[in-house]
Amino acid sequence: MRASAFLYPWDVVGDPDAAARVAGLGVQQVTLAAAYHSTRALTPRHPGRRIVTAEHAAVLYPPDPGRWAGRELHPYAQSWVASDDAYAEAAQALTDAGLEVHSWVVLAHNSRLGAEHPDTSVVNAYGDRYPWAPCIAQPAVRAYLVDLAAEAAVRDGARGTELESCGWYGFAHLHAHDKIAGVGLGDAAQYLMSLCFCPDCRTGYMEHGLEPDELIGAVRAALEPAWAGSGSSEAGWSGVEELLGADLAAATLQWRGRVARTLQESAVAAVRAAAGAGFQVLLHADPAAYRSGANVGVDPQHIMGVADGVVLPCTGGDARRETYLGPFAGRQGVVAANFTVVTGMGGSPAALERDAVHAASLGANQLRLYHAGLASDPDIEAVAEALSRLGR
């Protein structure tokens, strides 16, 4: 199977050996970050640094001033890589090493946007704002995300793109200072905590026959046992229906599903219009339509008619792969199984060969490896050995 490794531009810029080292893994492609959220990242093999602190969500290239002039919502430039165009510099080095480069674009995940423009954020049933989660129902947010997708995806040298967080973000947020584990919430409760009640979403609920204040009351009532006790473990869509009631749950999903689908359609269309023929567009996705986050919930039948395929999180055992890959079995397009290959982040690079074979038996036709810049030397060696055996 074709394999691609994720990379940040700062893994390559300033390291003359990086591109050849990645090519030596046995991958054919690199998925290179062009627009990314804030992070603190290790660079274990870089000759000049060991830590990169990306202080806020930013684009890793110079944004087009003509596109963004006079607009309240616009991308932020990076300042932590010493390069006028970090993406282009890294992409050129990787291309020169014989690797095909695709852009990696994070969309609806931006804490700086929420801090500077709080009205753009998701608002939960208690009135709390999630500054990391722009509400994709808001017209201004949608316009910003669609234009960002087109600009960040179609960089010089890129042959395709992968759009992450192209849909709803919500309660769950990987954050360095999270202190939310005191009450355990299953994914059904997290769905309720991810419902947005900003003015645009309140209007949307009314279009689906819901009175927003009554829905807020129902959400709070459904969650009250979790706060009063030891948490809530309900899982899956049936768990959402158990907590909220089937009719209310269905109406919320109708609204959120329509918003997500139309954003995905618009973003993909904008990328294709900017790129022209032959440019591959994939979405990081989850086949459970109600889920939010980096891997956004999608309808498998719909999304495979919009994008060229999906990238699915497959780290975590056979059952997880079956859950994520099963709904896409037999569908035309790219079905990429994404494996974490960093042991310290829960990955199992030593098991990559076995896991990739299992994923292929479930319909995966490509591999994604997260993340070639973050992995230790032993992890990198295990990946190279696994890819070598898979290629025989």
pLDDT in tens, 112-129: 999 999 999 999 999 999
Q: Is the backbone peptide bond immediately before 371 cis, with ω within 30 degrees of 0?
A: yes
Q: What is the mean pLDDT of residues 157-170?
A: 97
Query: Rounded CA gap, 163 and 296, in Å?
Result: 10
Query: Rounded CA gap, 283 and 288, in Å?
Result: 14
CB atoms within 10 A of CB 262: 13
pLDDT score of 232: 86
Displacement of CA 13 from its chain's centroid (Å): 24
Q: How confident is the model at residue 231 (pLDDT cuts 50, 70, 90)?
A: confident
Closest CA to 325 of 290, 369, 352, 285: 285
Q: Report percent pLDDT > 70 for the chain.
A: 98
pLDDT score of 187: 92
DSSP state of 77: B
**For residue 318, pLDDT beyond 60:** yes
Q: Indicate the SS3 state at residue 10.
A: helix
Query: Rounded CA gap, 169 and 196, in Å?
Result: 10
**For residue 271, pLDDT beyond 80:** yes
Q: Indicate the SS3 state at residue 268.
A: helix
pLDDT score of 181: 66
Domains for the chain: give ranges and CATH numbers.
Answer: 2-177+260-390 (3.20.20.80)
Helices (H), 29-138: 65-68, 86-96, 111-116
pLDDT score of 360: 98
